[in-house]
Amino acid sequence: MLAETICSAASAAGLGIAAITAYRKRFLTATRIAAYSLVPLGLVLTGVVEWVSGIAFKPSVWIGFGVLGLAWLLFMTTRAIERRSGTTRAERKAARAAERNEAVAAGASTPSLGAGSAGQVRPTAGGAAAKPKKQQEAAASGAGDDFSDIEAILKKHGI
């Protein structure tokens, strides 16, 4: 009852302000103020104010809001942990698909012998090929020559 009275008084005050604004020849602004001031009255007449005031004072409703907040917090926590781990759902799905299709390497015309064969390049979880140790050392020494100009630029900037 009190909420309906307050909303009606706010609408009446808003319509009064709209009338004063229209008297000052600011009709567009007066129309906008009148529209805003009729909203609380419309909410009272439709019963929305009574419904909201009935909900606001029930403890079970506030417990429900608490449960919804807890669910949202748990959901956001799991999303943050998932992002921090660096893997997304699509990456995990691609890794599972790669494990199922491990018998045939991508781009190979014949099936590979699997993880037990020696001297073969094996795919890793990231999709990159794991090279034998000698090939990695040779690639690392060649990569140093390729990136020397980049290292010089970074040293110049103090990075």
What does the DSSP assignment read for 47-69? THHHHHHHHHT-HHHHHHHHHHH
Look at the pTM and tell me if it is higher than 0.75: no
Distance from C-alpha of 133 to C-alpha of 149, rounded to nearest angstrom: 26
Contact assessment for residue 61 and residue 28, using Cβ atoms and an 8 Å cutoff: no
Distance from C-alpha of 79 to C-alpha of 92, rounded to nearest angstrom: 15
In three-state secondary structure terms, 116 is coil
Distance from C-alpha of 3 to C-alpha of 119, rounded to nearest angstrom: 81
pLDDT in tens, the chain (159 residues): 788 899 999 999 999 999 999 999 999 999 999 999 999 999 999 988 888 888 887 888 889 889 999 999 999 998 888 777 777 778 778 888 888 876 555 555 655 555 554 445 555 555 555 555 555 555 555 555 678 888 888 888 888
In three-state secondary structure terms, 137 is helix
Q: Tell me the DSSP string of 106-135.
A: TT-SS----TT-TT--EE-TTSPEEPPHHH
pLDDT of residue 2: 83
DSSP 8-class letter at 117? -
In three-state secondary structure terms, 129 is strand
